[in-house]
Homo-oligomer: A and B are copies of this chain.
């Protein structure tokens, strides 16, 4: 199974699918250019409605993570992670980092442990492909 979801979670299913796909790309399980399952196929595998998968894929497309062609289906964008992030991305991303870290701080997690776990997560990701010469 490429992807698992939790129907009991309060995170919407389409959001879980988006998150799992993004994580699979970061982990290197999904390479750039590789195809995702068809919406109907993934919906059948997950035993959910194909409209829900459609919504997740559309979200990934709007976030420039995948491309969707009528011909080749949903494909991980080759240029999603090439070059520096768009200028607007960090402006949207860092406040969310700040909120997440504040939550850890308030619950008593030591700053050093936050950094340790952060480094651990980053180490678990696949190394960036070298820019072709």
Which positions in A face B, CB cutoff 8 Å?
19, 22-23, 25-27, 64-65, 80-86, 89-90, 93-94, 96-111, 114-115, 117-119, 121-122, 124-125, 128
Contact = CB atoms under 8 A, between A and B. Distances in A.
Given A81-B107, A102-B22, A118 B115 contact: yes
Contacts of A128: 105, 110-111
In the A-B complex, the 10 residue pairs with the smallest Cβ-Cβ separation, listed nearest first, are A26-B102, A26-B105, A23-B102, A85-B107, A81-B108, A111-B122, A85-B108, A19-B99, A22-B102, A118-B118
Nearest to A102: B26
A80 B106 contact: yes
Contacts of A19: 99, 102
A79 B112 CA distance: 20
Contacts of A22: 99, 102-103, 106
A82 B108 contact: yes
8 contacts: A80-B106, A80-B108, A84-B108, A90-B109, A93-B104, A97-B121, A101-B121, A111-B125
> Which of A64, A101, A109, A110: most chain B Cβ within 10 A?
A101
